[in-house]
Amino acid sequence: MIIPVVMAGGTGSRLWPMSRELYPKQYLRLNGDKSMLQETISRLDGLKIVPPILICNEQHRFLAAEQLRQLDLAAGNIILEPVGRNTAPAIALAALSATTHGENPLLLVLAADHVIADKNAFHQAITNAIPYADQGKLVTFGIVATGPETGYGYIQRGEPLGENKMAFDVHRFVEKPDFETANNYISSGEYYWNSGMFIFRAKTYLDELAKYRPDILDACQNAFSNIEKDACQDFIRVDKEAFLACPDESIDYAVMEKTAEGVVIALDAGWNDVGSWSSLWEVNPKDTESNCITGDVFTHSTNNCYINTDEKLVAAIGVDNLVIVNTKDAVLVIDKSKVQDVKKVVEYLKNNQ
Ligand code: GDD
Ligand code: MG
């Protein structure tokens, strides 16, 4: 049995001002009719899986439940975190929930905010990964690294496994290296970017977490031993006080950097983590001047811009390589090469509002 586990607790702060604390990017319809969360679940159609476990923040519960309902999904289990403690605890809660009655299913762990253009190639990669996950490996999906991005985990390929040359031992996993290190990795040609999606048996993950971060596992077990099941919804609430005591750590630092059981499956499926406005420019259709435009926009002598407006007309003349995002209460104008710095506005707002 494969249970998808969709992690939807991130804040998506690099897509401010569209992505907000109360409405983060995974719930936004940035690429079409469906939200990124809905796309994540819909692209599993055709795989032999059961309804997903969704794990998200308490404050987004109705948003999450409504988006599942729109997919006609008998709303699977929705686990609510009182606070975000990053992905290592989130996945631990999902694994504990999936093993409650002694089962040990495969968990297909997915981020809620990725774009994958080629669904069939993605399904094939999952099929390639299953035998290794079955054998007790922690399998991740690797994207051939093409530039020294510092926002990704890097996976150095080890020995090839099996015959199809798509699976490799993980020789080394380094989460978010600095620019220089990332540059060296790229030159060596031996590295994949970690896609942030994983497949493993629930108990394999819990065992590895017990080995490397027993403090995280303990806190999650405490939080999970006192769950509250909502009578009329599918919400599962963990114990707030116990979960507050849990360290904040991603699966990448807590387990993937340390485990000896890592396997990487090459994934070539048009993956993009839509981590910033410039990646939205990259994945969306553009006009003849290479501008990507949403809403009421006038351009003249303007090239390579991403312009998105909710309501007012935006006119851009004689500008290149800009991101302009206009919402009801905030306007962002930023050089396309500086989009990672949007986080600075979010920090500023947190400290000054
Ligand atoms: N439930 C829950 N709780 N979900 C969370 C939490 C949390 O506390 N924190 C993050 N998430 C969700 C996000 O919504 C997203 O879907 C996913 O987990 C990954 O979190 P990000 O915060 O987006 O991680 P990242 O992009 O910095 O890094 C990860 O993804 C990269 C690829 O996009 C890592 O796995 C990197 O190694 C990887 O390269
Ligand atoms: Mg991300």
Query: Ligand 1 atom 20: the closest Cα is on which residue?
Result: 10
Single out the residue of 216, 217, 242 nearest to residue 227, CA to CA: 242
Work out which ligand 1 atom sits closest to the CA atom of 55. 1
Q: What is the predicted pLDDT for the residue at 275?
A: 82
Q: Which residues surround the ion ligand 2 when the cut-off is CB under 5 Å?
A: 273
Say which ligand is closest to the CA of 11: 1
Residue type, 239: D
Single out the residue of 66, 93, 317 nearest to residue 216, CA to CA: 93
- Rounding to the nearest 10 degrees, give the CA dihedral for residues 52, 56, 61, 67: -50
Say which ligand is closest to the CA of 275: 2
Query: Ligand 1 atom 19: the closest Cα is on which residue?
Result: 111
Query: Ligand 1 atom 13: the closest Cα is on which residue?
Result: 10
Q: Is the CB of 152 under 6 A from ligand 1?
A: yes
Work out which ligand 1 atom sits closest to the CA atom of 110. 16
**Could you count the other beta carbons within 10 Å of the beta carbon of residue 187?**
10
Contact status, residue 64 vs residue 221, Cβ threshold 8 Å: no
List per-residue pLDDT tens for the chain, 353 residues long: 899 999 999 888 889 998 888 889 999 887 678 999 999 999 999 999 889 999 999 999 999 999 999 998 765 689 999 999 999 999 999 999 999 989 999 999 999 999 999 999 999 999 999 999 999 999 999 999 889 988 899 999 999 998 877 899 999 999 999 999 999 999 999 999 999 999 999 999 999 999 999 999 999 999 998 887 766 667 899 999 999 999 999 999 999 999 999 999 999 999 998 888 998 999 889 999 999 999 999 999 999 999 999 889 999 999 999 999 999 989 999 999 999 899 899 999 989 87
Query: Ligand 1 atom 16: the closest Cα is on which residue?
Result: 111
Q: Is the CB of 27 under 6 A from ligand 1?
A: no
Ligand 1 center to 87 CA (angstroms):
6
Q: What is the predicted pLDDT for the residue at 76?
A: 62
Q: Is the CB of 17 under 6 A from ligand 1?
A: no
Ligand 2 center to 113 CA (angstroms):
7
DSSP conformational letter for 25: G
pTM over 0.80: yes
Determine the Cα–Cα distance for residues 18 and 35; give it in Å rounded to an integer.
13
Q: Is the CB of 265 under 6 A from ligand 1?
A: no
Q: In whole angstroms, how far apart are CA 129 and each of 105, 200, 337?
A: 14, 9, 36
239: left (phi over 0), alpha (psi -120 to 50) or beta: beta
Ligand 1 center to 104 CA (angstroms):
24
Contact status, residue 268 vs residue 274, Cβ threshold 8 Å: no
